[in-house]
Structure 1
Amino acid sequence: MELRSLSASSFPPCYCVKRRLVLLTLVYLLSCDVKVLPSVSVKDEYPLEGKEERLLATCTAAGSRPPAEVSWITGSLGDKVRATRSSTQNGNDTTTTISSLLGVPTKEINRQKVRCVVKSEAPEISQDFTIQIYFPPVEAKIVERDQDTFECLTEANPDANVTWSRSDGPLPQSAEADGGKLKLQSISSDLNGLYQCEASNQYGKKHSQLYVHVPSGSCTVCWVIFGLALIASCVVAAVVYYFKFLRNEESPQRVPTSEPEEAPGEADTNI
């Protein structure tokens, strides 16, 4: 005899009725051994970064018959984490087993992958889990991405929300903030001022500042004109030097002779 669609409430004794004769009814008391699969879940315990051991995650196998075995596969984490286990007997003759994963919540184990494994009368059940260590922004740092774009960088979990502002009011129209980036769209003195980026999540915030100063009247055309003038000056200087050098080379020079000059007042004395 096969019983189908049984639930945990079917665990009390099952009765089988068999009619052998018209006036005789036999009732058999059967022992029903019903197996129930556990409901498996893994829960993040949201540990904050610290130096003392904390609960990192829990793996629960709820309502199983017979009781399930729950364990963790921690891979390269080794002795950086450890597991404990507890069981609770339910009223319907099922068992809930919980395995807790503990460790010191440091950035070293943040985002490391582990696996919860549940073994029972049914096929093995496993669920992967990524350890999350939560902490506020560590530092806000502004870096220059190119000539007119700056980015505010930070490390945080969960990821920080970055906002830009200027000390004397809202951002000018020529400055555009896109997440962590600040783009200066046109270089003019309107951009002058002290800019601040703020990186924040629910655990804290950090700030960093950037001072922008554009001299009044500075423009790209002015630099181009200056460059052309500088090149022209170099060309003129080269031409003047060239002709001056050739002129010195072609001018006549006096060459001294080796014949002695006749002394004044001397005459031939030959007879």
Structure 2
Amino acid sequence: MAVTNHLDSPGQKFLGIRHKRCPPAFCQEVQAENVTVIEGGTAEITCKLHQYDGSIVVIQNPARQTLFFNGTRALRDERFQLVDFTPKLVKIHLSNAKLEDEGGYFCQLYTEDTHHQIATLTVLVPPENPIVEVKEQAVEGGQVELICSAPRTKPEATLRWYRERRELKGVTSKQENIKTFSITNTIQFPVERRDNGEIVTCEASHAALKGQKKQTQYVLDVQFSPTARIQPSQSLVREGDMLTMKCEVTGNPRPNEIIWSRLNDSLPERSQVQGDLLTIPSLSLQDNGTYSCQVSNKHGRSSDQYVLVVYDPGAIIEAQTQVPYAIIGGILALLVFLVICVLIVMVWCSVRQKGSYLTHEASGLDEHGEAREAFLNGGENHKRKEEFFI
């Protein structure tokens, strides 16, 4: 007796199976649906019944082991629970789903002929937070290589790198491990000391996460040579004052030792050294000199100097009451500018007066020339001569 099995495309519902000779209006049918569940979640497997007459219903796992015989448990796996058993529906729950549970679950209806449907169970494995590793220690002027990995996903996860909201292009590779995949994404870029402490983020996306992302942040650790700079507690000091000098240090790794010294002399006996601080209480003129702090790490060394000049109390008061040098310089510049302007005006006036004198002198020469000519000619009247001599 022939039995026809009608199956839809993957991911769609399976149609019931029925005997060919059975009139459609009176035949029993069973229907099942494909199920997708996240690993560790609960899968719901249903068998829908049509024209059920009380015949035997059996549900089997992919290994063809019977889970339930009608309403009776047949397999001792407490993860499977019978939720509903009615003339229209048989429903079971599978808790803590595992990859090993994947496959086809059989819904079988035993009448004169066996009717069955297969519900395919798919288990998804979303990635955990990505793992970020650095290949070797980053040093300024060199390159850093970071590796982001999602060691177990199904299907393949997508990994991306971001820095300051800008995506960094990396090289992706994958490895298949039976039913899961291991994904890695590797990036390389140059680094300087200013990059130390910057954050780089690896982001994983996956169908099972439903639009959410799994992220891991990596703080760049860039090593560089140290710098030192002495900062005094006050700029002008007098006898009896207390002075504290701080050696401001940078460097990665940070120098663990700061060496204080005085050029061509030893530190004052009463001075106190506490790491980056050098304190000299009750200053005296004998404390004058050039002080230095030195630091080093495995990438280099650095030092800075500070010239200490201790004044007597009277000199300090006078120095503090003087007009600041910047103001004096501004006043002097203004005075020089005004003097230059006055000189320019004087030169311009002098040149103009000289030009006027030369013009009148030339005019006078013309008049005297005409008078001389009239005198020599002698033929003109005396009144004309007088006009020239008056």
- Picking from 170, 181, 185, the partner of 1:99 is 185
Cα deviation digits, residues 97-120 of structure 1 (max 9, x gap): 122231111235443333221101
Contact 1:152 1:162 in 2 (8 A): no
2:229 corresponds to 1:145: no
The structure whose RCO (Cα within 8 Å, separation 6+) is larger is 1
Question: Quick one: which amino acid aligns to residue 301 of structure 2?
Answer: K
Query: TM-score with structure 1 length normalisation?
Result: 0.59
The one-letter code of the counterpart of 1:42 is V
Which of 94, 105, 120 is residue 3 of structure 1 equivalent to?
Answer: 94
Aligned residue number for residue 131 of structure 2? 41
Greater fraction helix: 2
Tell me the TM-score normalised to structure 2 length.
0.43
Contact 1:61 1:96 in 2 (8 A): yes
Counterpart of 1:236? none
Measured in 1, the distance between the counterparts of 2:104 and 2:266 equals 77
1:130 aligns with 2:226: no
- Inter-CA distance 87–203: structure 2 relative to 1 (3 Å threshold): farther
What is aligned with 2:295? 199
Q: In 2 relative to 1, CA 31–105 (structure 1 residues): closer, same or farther, beyond 3 Å?
A: same
Residue 177 (structure 1) shift: 2.8
1:128 Cα offset (Å) = 3.2
1:176 and 2:280 are equivalent in the alignment: no
Assess, with a 3 A threshold, how the Cα gap between structure 1 residues 188 and 99 changes in structure 2: closer, same or farther. Answer: same
Structure 1 residue runs without a partner (length 5+): 228-271
Aligned to 1:75: 164
SS at match of 2:123: coil
Q: Look up the SS of the partner of 2:293 in the other structure.
A: strand
Q: Confirm whether residue 50 of structure 1 aligns to residue 141 of structure 2.
A: yes
Does residue 1:87 correspond to 2:182, yes or no? Answer: no
| Deviation of the 1:31 alpha carbon | 4.3
**Structure index of larger Rg:** 2
Q: Shift of the alpha carbon at 1:3?
A: 2.4
Structure 2 equivalent of residue 157 of structure 1: 252
Amino acid at match of 2:302: K
Q: Which runs of 5+ in 2 are unaligned?
A: 1-44, 46-92, 238-242, 318-390
Distance in 2 between residues matched to 1:172 and 1:19, nearest whole Å: 102
Give the residue type in structure 2 aligned to 1:48: V
% same residue: 21
CA deviations over 1:211-246 (Å, ceiling 9, x no partner): 7687xxx9x7xx46x98xxxxxxxxxxxxxxxxxxx
The residue identity in structure 1 corresponding to 2:132 is: V
Matches within 5 A, 1:190-229: 196-209=292-305, 223=313
Q: Secondary structure at the match of 2:258?
A: strand
> Structure 1's 63 and 211: CA in aligned 2 closer, same or farther, altered over 3 A?
same
Q: Relative to 1, partners in 2 of residues 1:20 and 1:188: Cα closer, same or farther, differing over 3 Å?
A: farther
1:71 Cα deviation after fit:
0.4
| Partners of 1:161 and 1:180 in 2: CA distance | 10
Shift of 1:133: 2.3
Q: Secondary structure at the match of 1:134?
A: strand
